[in-house]
Amino acid sequence: MSRSRDYLTLADIIGIYSVLMKRYGGASGIRDQGALEAAVLRPQASYYGDEFEEAAALMESLAVNHPFVDGNKRIAFAAADVFLRINGWRLEGDPNQFFNHIIQMLETKNFKRETLGPWLKKHAKQIN
């Protein structure tokens, strides 16, 4: 039996995005409201096996579908990280290595839920 999970809302994602844009800069704004709403709802589909697959689905949708004007890779990673944290997991590792790996996955067209889920799980530690 799978446990109940907490999910990020549209307001959560926009709030995280706002913080990231203030901190790191870039052109801010929503480019595609529909893509953003779909990304927020995607992890809640019943066919994902665990929270890592759900985080990967969120991450993939935000990075690949570009719902924001700028900062899509940043929000993708941050949203997946926050999603895992609110569900009892923390990603551990060097942020620069995470960033480099994400860029490498994107450049090699390997940035997919199927590869992201195991990668997130490999770097996660249960916190509760």
* pLDDT tens by residue, the chain, 128 residues: 355 899 999 999 999 999 999 999 999 999 999 999 999 999 998 789 899 999 999 999 999 999 999 999 999 999 999 999 999 999 999 988 999 999 999 999 989 999 999 999 999 999 96
Strand partners, 91: 124
pLDDT at 47: 84
State the Cα–Cα distance between residues 39 and 58, nearest whole angstrom: 6
pLDDT at 46: 76
Q: Which fold has domain 10-126?
A: Four Helix Bundle (Hemerythrin (Met), subunit A) (1.20.120)
pLDDT at 1: 38
pLDDT at 4: 86
Strand partners, 27: none
Nearest to 67 by CA among 55, 79, 75, 77: 75
* b/e sequence 52-75, b meaning 16+ C-beta within 10 Å: bbbbbbbbbbbbbbbbbebbbbbb
104 burial (CB, 10 Å; 0-12 / 13-18 / 19+) is exposed
pLDDT at 3: 59
pLDDT at 45: 86
